[in-house]
Amino acid sequence: MNVRTRATTWALGLTALLALVVVVSAGIGHVTIPPRTVALILLDAIPVPVGVSLSGAVVLPMLGSVPAPSVELGSLVSLSVPETAQIIVVSVRLPRILLAALVGFALATAGVVMQGFFRNPMADPSIIGVSSGAAVGAVATIVLGLSVPFGLQGAAFGSAIVTAFVVYMLATEGGRTPVATLLLAGVAVQTFLGAVISFLLLQSGESLRQVVFWLMGHLSGATWDEVVMVTLVLPLPFAVLLAHTRDLNVLLLGEEDAHALGIEVERTKQLLLATASIVTATAVAVSGVIGFVGLVVPHMIRLVVGPDHRILLPASALAGASFLVVTDTIARSGAAEVPVGVVTAALGAPFFLYLLRTREVRSP
Q: How far is the CB of 275 from another protein (least distance, A)?
A: 14
Nearest approach in angstroms of CB 12 to another protein is 20
Which amino acid, 143?
Answer: V
71 or 260: CB nearest another protein: 260
- Tell me how far apart the alpha carbons of residues 249 and 258 are, in angstroms, rounded to a whole number: 9
Report the DSSP beta bridge partners of residue 60: 64
Closest Cα partner for 168 from 206, 218, 130, 135?
130
Q: Distance (Å, rounded) from C-alpha 204 to C-alpha 98?
A: 31
Closer CB to another protein, 5 or 65, in the complex: 5
When the beta carbons of 122 and 261 are compared against another protein, the nearer one is: 261
CB contact at 8 A, 14 and 315: yes
Q: How far is the CB of 267 from another protein (least distance, A)?
A: 9
Minimal distance in Å, beta carbon 133 to another protein?
30
* 65 φ/ψ angles, rounded to the nearest 5 degrees: -80, 130
CB of 233 to another protein, least distance (A): 23
Q: How far apart are CA 302 and CA 172, in angstroms?
A: 30
Name which of 264 and 337 has its Cβ closer to another protein: 264
Closest CA to 89 of 40, 18, 152, 149: 40
Instruction: Give the residues lining the site for another protein (CB under 8 A).
Output: 2, 119, 243-244, 246, 249-250, 252-254, 256-257, 259-265, 306-308, 362-364
| Whole-angstrom distance, CA of residue 139 vs CA of residue 212 | 9
In the complex, least distance from residue 349 CB atom to another protein, rounded to whole angstroms? 24
**Nearest 10 degrees: CA dihedral of 272, 278, 279, 285?**
160
Of the pair 66, 239, the CB lying nearest another protein is at 239
Residue whose CB is less far from another protein, 19 or 260 = 260
